[in-house]
Structure 1
């Protein structure tokens, strides 16, 4: 609990909040330059997301995969790895869950749905472990291998759906079995048929698992130690190569879960895609906003999901181009990355607080 309190009262949290405010202000200035009313735009954005139960449910649906891909990037980052392959792992997890959901028959829902979810996590983890193995065994930089695996994952997913699950005459798979669905029917009806699902609950539990595993277990300590200094870890008797592969597997499992949730809880089928959906790359932004902390990532996904889903409200109600939301998100990430600027803005506040402590 003390660790959690430090997150919300520490210097990093304050810097993130100020960076967000500065990003919103910069977005408002861009709107003013473009001849738009920022107050009307932000009001329309908030109303779009929180104005009724249906849109609120859909916003939650938008946030859920961002939590998972954000956790994927942050877990690797905490172990000294740069997993930019969340996109490919997301797609492979989605495809594995689709195949299990479509081709496995005769199982009850309490076995079939978890089996499809687990398949997404395992295959997403195995896809990331390829990059981990290449780094551990051959010294291949994980950024390069992950970028290549993103493209391979996209085309491999399309090939699998084309050959084993494609619906005749349409560019999408057949529907998954009803027993593989993780949608919450009664809650969806209460929220105007919003596509809410159990994946949101699992995503929150995944953030708790991240925290406990990384900071409360021996294996988590080893992974962080390897990330800090591989030579010292090896001297201390840790198996560095095994820990690199393990870290990438767990990281990929998070992203794979995000893909499984999308197909099992939202769409119920998988399309043949001309390009990647971008969820893995958005997860990197969420992780940066959340400072690679699992609970910060939940807050970052709420912000990112609110801005992304609410951009439609800005467009329809305030006639503001949705691309401006991307400028706001980019500005927030810029200010979080350039903490020197934020500290300079906060310098008078810190000086005053220091003076009060002296007195």
Structure 2
């Protein structure tokens, strides 16, 4: 910020002649007499007429300035980054009831324009591990797996599912007439999401939503068909012991993608969680897809232990870093951001692979 005023203001003007110097002296004497008169008048005034002293510049910046409240706001002058309001990340902390309280309640939008294609290629390999999302989820949720040779240990031929929706064991066998016995359910149905905010998401965000492990479960096929695109107000798992976890997962997904709930849906979720108020809102890290099973190599000799790093000073604290979006991170030269690095947020990591703004 530049200094106020005009450069050189308040300095006596100098002339080249003696008469100019005399006139300058007279000017200074006149100014001095005027100042004495003004001081005398102020001293004679009654105490009640004295002007109130205004706050100093320091007081104004530390007490009067309002902190930023909008998500993505830039750092305010005089306010450390660590003290500024950060946008909430409701899907990564707190109980499900606490996160539910942050989700907007609105009416259902029209289904106009919805199709499965709005959420990208079905079962795309968004995490780039060489396997499609359906097989990723089968490997994660089934036990006693048999994998098809020559597919990089991706394709699941058979396995056993302990179905969370019905609490029954299901033998999965890959085949044209048997594969549908186990289906991959979108916990928050794509159609339901479309009518509650997903229309405003980008194509990449919708692709991520449709393949997000947090929003996917391997379940009994016929039960999944009966669920269709119902929300918590119209459908809950027959297995009552799983309802708290099911609703908590829906809440985390909706909060994480900025979707809303209807009033009936909100009330149904709150009723379920009333029996389990301490249920945590699950996070992306608790629902990641299992990597493809690989043949384990022979263990190599253990390297000598590395010297322990010097301990950080006790008063050292990591600097708080916040980037409103990937464009801001790239402009700062910080992209790509990896999980654990300052500034990394799951909302910026579209494919949930631990690397944001790739």
Asked if Structure 1 and Structure 2 have the same fold, meaning a TM-score greater than 0.5 normalized by the shorter chain, the answer is no
Structure with the largest fraction of strand? 2
Structure with the largest fraction of helix? 1
Bigger RCO (CA 8 Å, 6+ sep): 1
Report the TM-score when normalising by structure 1: 0.24
Report the TM-score when normalising by structure 2: 0.24
